[in-house]
C-alpha cells in the first residue's frame, strides 16, 4: 500500500476516509479536485484484492496513469473488445479496468468483486437503460464507489439510480424518492418527473452516502473562472440561409404548434450547425464564429482549448487555426483509442510554445486535463449545462496557475440566445440541487 498520505490535500484525506468508512458511497466533488486519487487511496485502505473500475473508454489512459502513480503495487488489467482475459496476479492486488458497454461481458467471467468503482457514474442515471444501469446493478461487490463531478443533469431524479445500486434496500422505490424530492406532473401522455422540491430535506437525507465539495471551498487559491459571451453577427451567407431555414421552421410550428416533431428538431440542429460552421451543410463559408476564433488567436497567441458539439466542424476549425500560425493543433473526438487520446494530451502539455490549441468535441470532455491552457472557446454548446461545465473544467482544475477565461460565441437574435436561456434555467436547477446557490452565464 502507498502510505505517503502527505501527498494528499486535507480535503482529499477527508474524501478517502469518507469512502473507506462508508464503503458504498458517492464522491461528487466538482471536476478537477482529484476524485480518482481519493478512490485509489480508499481502495488501498480497504485492502481489496479484486477491484473493478468501470469508466468511459477514453478514460482508460487516465486510470492506467493514476494507478501507476498512486497504487504502483497493483496489477492492472484492461478488459475490452481486444483484451477479454482476466489473468489475475496471486501476489498483488488486481485492478480490472473496463468500459460501461463491457460490464455484461465481464460478469460472465467474474460476478463478485471486492470493490466496484463507477467513474462518471452519472452515466447510470437513467434507470430504464438496461445496458447501463440494468447491467451495473447486477455487479456484486463488497464496496461500491460512485465518482462523478456532475451527479445531476435534469433533476433530483438523476440521483436515484446510483443510490439504488449502492443501497438497494434504503433507496428501493424510485417513485417514493421522486415524489419526495421532485415535481411529478401528468402532461397527458404520462408522468413527467423534473426539477426539485423539498430541497431543504434532500441533502440531509443523502449526507451519509454522498460527499460533494466545491473548488471554491477546497481549492481557494485556484484563480476564478471567468465566463464571457462574445456577441457575433452572422455573415451575409449565414443570414441568407438562416432566414430560409427559420421560415421552414415557423411553417412547421404553425402546422403543429405544440409538438416537437422530428422535423422540427432536425431543423433546430441544422440552425445550430449553420451558426457554428456553414461548411458542415455544404455552404461555401467558414461562418462568423470560426473567423472570430482565428482573429482572436492571432491577436493574442496562447495555449487554449476549442470546444464544439459538432465533430464535422473540427476539420474546418483546425484549418482556420493552421492559417493563424498555430504551431501545434491536437484533436480530441469520439471513437479515439485511449492510447491515441493520451498521446494528444501528452503532446499538448509538453509542447513548449504558447501557440498551441486543442480542438475537442464537447461530448468527449471528461477524464483528461489541460491546465496548461487558460482560455477555452465554445463554438456551439451542448444542451446539458453539466456537459459544458465538464468541458470548462478540463482547464479549471487543481494545477491551474492562471485565471481561466471561457468564451461563448453567441450570434445575437438567433437560436444561440434561446439555447443559452434554456441552459441558464437548467443550470439554476442543477445548482439549486447540488450547491444551494444559483448561477447564470455572465453577460
Q: Please indicate, yes or no, whether residues 144 and 179 belong to a single structural domain of this protein.
A: yes
Mean pLDDT of 320-334: 92
Q: Please indicate, yes or no, whether residues 365 and 235 belong to a single structural domain of this protein.
A: yes
pLDDT at 267 over 70: yes
Instruction: Determine, yes or no, domain membership for 439.
Output: no
Q: Please indicate, yes or no, whether residues 393 and 249 belong to a single structural domain of this protein.
A: yes
Over the stretch 355-394, which tens digit does the pLDDT of each residue have? 999 999 998 988 899 999 999 999 998 888 888 999 999 9
Over the stretch 69-80, which tens digit does the pLDDT of each residue have? 999 999 999 998
Over the stretch 334-353, which tens digit does the pLDDT of each residue have? 888 888 999 999 999 999 99
Residue 376 backbone dihedrals phi, psi, to 5 degrees: -135, 150
Q: Please indicate, yes or no, whether residues 201 and 304 belong to a single structural domain of this protein.
A: no
Element (H, E) at 63: helix 60-70
Give the position of cell 479536485. 33
Residue 319 backbone dihedrals phi, psi, to 5 degrees: -65, -45
Instruction: Determine, yes or no, domain membership for 441.
Output: no
CATH number of the domain that 334 lies in?
A: 3.40.50.300
Confirm if 100 and 123 have CB atoms less than 8 A apart. Answer: yes
Over the stretch 391-417, which tens digit does the pLDDT of each residue have? 999 999 998 999 999 999 999 888 888
Over the stretch 144-179, which tens digit does the pLDDT of each residue have? 999 999 898 888 899 999 999 999 999 999 999 999
Mean pLDDT of 224-253: 84
For all residues of the chain together, what is the average pLDDT? 88
Predicted pLDDT of residue 438? 31
Q: Please indicate, yes or no, whether residues 315 and 210 belong to a single structural domain of this protein.
A: no
DSSP 169: T
Mean pLDDT of 313-341: 92
Instruction: Determine, yes or no, domain membership for 443.
Output: no
pLDDT at 36 over 50: yes
Q: Please indicate, yes or no, whether residues 167 and 242 belong to a single structural domain of this protein.
A: no
Confidence of residue 252 (pLDDT cuts 50, 70, 90): low
Confidence of residue 248 (pLDDT cuts 50, 70, 90): low
Q: Is 305 exposed, middle or buried (0-12, 13-18, 19+ CB in 10 A)?
A: buried
Predicted pLDDT of residue 358? 97
**Which of 156, 182, 216 lies at the terminal end of a domain, its last residue?**
216
pLDDT at 191 over 70: yes
Residue 304 backbone dihedrals phi, psi, to 5 degrees: -150, 165
| CA nearest to 160, candidates 197, 191, 198, 122 | 122
Mean pLDDT of 238-242: 92
* Domain range for 14: 5-216
Q: Report the distance separating Cα 107 and Cα 38, nearest Å.
A: 26
Instruction: Determine, yes or no, domain membership for 45.
Output: yes
The answer to which of 211-220, 258-267, 400-409 has the lowest mean pLDDT is: 258-267
- Residues whose CB is less than 8 angstroms from the CB of residue 335 and which lie 6 or more positions away in sequence, other chains included: none
- Residues whose CB is less than 8 angstroms from the CB of residue 262 and which lie 6 or more positions away in sequence, other chains included: none
Mean pLDDT of 16-39: 96
Predicted pLDDT of residue 96? 97
Instruction: Give the three-class secondary structure for 108.
Output: coil
Mean pLDDT of 35-59: 96
Instruction: Determine, yes or no, domain membership for 174.
Output: yes
Q: What percent of the chain has pLDDT over 90?
A: 65
Predicted pLDDT of residue 300? 86
Confidence of residue 262 (pLDDT cuts 50, 70, 90): low
Mean pLDDT of 316-331: 93
Mean pLDDT of 44-64: 94
Task: Give, in order, the Cα–Cα distances in Å from 243 to each of 36, 170, 250.
Answer: 48, 54, 10
CATH number of the domain that 15 lies in?
A: 3.40.50.10810
Predicted pLDDT of residue 260? 46
Q: Which of 16-25, 215-224, 257-266, 387-396 ranks highest by mean pLDDT?
A: 16-25
**Which of 216, 245, 264 lies at the terminal end of a domain, its last residue?**
216
Q: Report the distance separating Cα 393 and Cα 66, nearest Å.
A: 18
Predicted pLDDT of residue 258? 42
Predicted pLDDT of residue 264? 60
Specify the pTM.
0.85
Predicted pLDDT of residue 429? 66
**Which of 184, 216, 248 lies at the terminal end of a domain, its last residue?**
216
| CA nearest to 88, candidates 100, 106, 70 | 106
Total domain count, the chain: 2
Helical ranges in 219-261 per DSSP H: 236-255
Proportion of the chain in helix, strand, coil states, percent, rounded to 5: 45, 20, 35
Give the position of cell 481486444. 82
Predicted pLDDT of residue 187? 73
CA angle at 14 for the pair 9 and 15, rounded to the nearest 5°: 95
411 has which bridge partners? Answer: 232
Confidence of residue 273 (pLDDT cuts 50, 70, 90): very high
Mean pLDDT of 4-19: 91
| CA nearest to 79, candidates 117, 53, 58, 59 | 53
Amino acid at each position: 500500500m502507498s502510505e505517503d498520505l502527505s501527498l494528499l490535500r486535507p480535503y482529499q484525506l477527508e474524501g478517502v476516509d469518507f469512502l473507506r468508512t462508508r464503503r458504498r458511497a458517492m464522491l461528487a466533488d466538482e471536476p478537477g479536485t482529484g476524485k480518482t486519487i481519493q478512490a485509489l487511496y480508499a481502495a488501498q485502505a480497504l485492502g481489496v484484492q479484486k477491484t473493478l473500475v468501470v469508466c468511459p473508454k477514453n478514460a482508460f489512459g487516465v486510470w492506467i496513469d493514476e494507478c501507476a502513480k498512486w497504487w504502483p503495487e497493483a496489477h492492472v488489467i484492461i478488459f475490452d473488445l481486444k483484451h477479454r482475459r482476466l489473468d489475475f496476479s496471486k501476489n498483488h492486488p488486481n485492478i480490472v479496468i473496463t468500459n460501461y458497454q463491457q460490464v455484461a461481458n465481464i460478469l460472465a467471467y467474474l460476478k463478485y468483486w471486492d470493490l466496484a468503482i463507477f467513474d462518471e457514474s452519472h452515466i447510470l442515471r437513467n434507470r430504464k437503460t438496461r445496458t447501463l444501469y440494468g447491467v451495473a446493478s447486477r455487479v456484486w461487490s463488497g464496496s461500491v464507489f460512485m465518482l462523478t463531478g456532475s451527479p445531476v443533469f435534469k433533476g433530483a431524479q438523476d440521483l436515484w439510480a446510483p443510490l439504488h445500486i449502492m443501497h438497494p434496500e434504503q433507496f428501493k422505490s424510485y417513485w417514493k424518492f421522486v415524489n419526495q424530492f421532485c415535481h411529478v406532473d401528468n402532461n397527458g401522455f404520462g408522468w413527467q418527473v423534473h426539477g426539485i422540491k423539498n430541497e431543504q430535506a434532500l441533502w440531509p437525507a443523502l449526507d451519509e452516502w454522498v460527499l460533494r465539495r466545491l473548488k471554491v471551498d477546497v481549492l481557494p487559491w485556484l484563480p476564478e473562472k471567468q465566463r464571457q459571451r462574445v456577441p457575433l453577427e452572422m455573415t451575409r451567407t449565414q443570414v441568407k440561409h438562416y432566414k430560409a431555414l427559420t421560415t421552414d421552421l415557423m411553417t412547421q410550428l404553425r402546422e403543429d404548434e405544440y409538438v416537437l416533431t422530428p422535423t422540427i428538431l432536425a431543423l433546430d440542429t441544422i440552425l445550430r450547425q449553420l451558426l457554428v460552421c456553414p461548411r458542415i451543410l455544404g455552404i461555401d463559408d467558414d461562418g462568423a464564429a470560426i473567423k472570430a476564433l482565428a482573429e482572436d488567436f492571432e491577436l493574442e497567441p496562447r495555449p487554449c482549448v476549442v470546444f464544439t458539439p459538432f465533430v464535422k466542424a473540427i476539420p474546418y476549425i483546425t484549418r482556420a487555426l493552421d492559417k493563424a500560425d498555430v504551431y501545434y493543433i491536437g484533436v480530441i473526438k469520439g471513437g479515439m483509442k485511449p492510447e491515441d487520446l493520451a498521446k494528444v494530451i501528452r503532446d499538448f502539455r509538453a509542447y513548449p510554445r504558447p501557440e498551441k490549441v486543442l480542438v475537442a468535441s464537447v461530448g468527449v470532455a471528461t477524464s483528461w486535463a489541460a491546465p496548461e491552457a487558460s482560455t477555452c472557446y465554445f463554438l456551439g454548446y451542448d444542451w446539458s449545462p453539466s456537459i459544458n461545465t465538464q468541458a470548462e473544467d478540463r482547464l479549471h482544475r487543481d494545477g491551474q496557475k492562471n485565471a481561466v477565461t471561457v468564451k461563448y460565441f453567441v450570434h445575437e437574435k438567433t437560436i444561440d440566445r434561446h439555447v443559452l436561456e434554456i441552459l441558464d434555467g437548467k443550470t439554476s436547477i442543477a445548482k439549486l440541487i447540488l450547491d444551494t446557490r444559483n448561477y447564470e452565464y455572465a453577460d
